[in-house]
């Protein structure tokens, strides 16, 4: 079974630009979560989608948004980029049921904002 894939793997953007990251979950998984990983803050939850609906949202500004498509693929968008948005963005997929919520992570997209 193929794992979670994320594209692109690396991105360099300038302040003020916007960026879209993509995530394809493991086949059969309907839940996709996004995390931001930085050396100082560790792994911070951004949001989670299940069957095209956002079920949970972390404490990030409205510049961070996401969506999920009918095939469970998900995209994350960051508008008006700031230097502090430089991070590794991780996507994780899961079957999505709350009693057994085991997440599998992709390799991440390394975003550098200059």
Site for other proteins in 35-64 (CB under 8 A): 35, 41-43, 45, 48, 50, 55-56, 58
Q: Is the peptide bond before 8 cis (omega within 30 degrees of 0)?
A: yes
Stretch that binds other proteins, among 12-20, 30-38, 68-76, 78-86 (CB under 8 A): 30-38
Query: Tokens representing 80?
Result: 């008006």
Residue 1 binds other proteins, judged by CB under 8 A: no
Q: Are strands 87-94 and 31-38 parallel, antiparallel or unpaired?
A: antiparallel
Contact criterion met (CB below 8 Å) for 16 and 81: yes
State which of residues 106, 109, 111, 113 lies at the interface with other proteins (CB under 8 A). Answer: 106
Which residue from 96, 89, 104, 74 is spatially nearest to 11, judged by alpha carbons? Answer: 89
Q: Where along the sequence are the contacts to other proteins (CB under 8 A)?
A: 31, 33, 35, 41-43, 45, 48, 50, 55-56, 58, 90, 92, 96, 98-108
């Amino acid at each position: 079974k193929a794992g979670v894939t994320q594209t692109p793997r690396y991105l360099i953007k300038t302040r003020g630009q916007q960026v879209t990251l993509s995530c394809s979950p493991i086949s059969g998984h309907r839940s996709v979560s996004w995390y931001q990983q930085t050396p100082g803050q560790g792994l911070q939850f951004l949001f989670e989608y299940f069957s095209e609906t956002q079920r949970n949202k972390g404490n990030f500004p409205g510049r961070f948004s996401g969506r999920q498509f009918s095939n469970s693929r998900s995209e994350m968008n960051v508008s008006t980029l700031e230097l502090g948005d430089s991070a590794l963005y991780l996507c994780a997929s899961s079957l999505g049921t709350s009693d057994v919520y085991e997440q599998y992570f992709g390799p991440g997209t390394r975003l550098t904002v200059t």
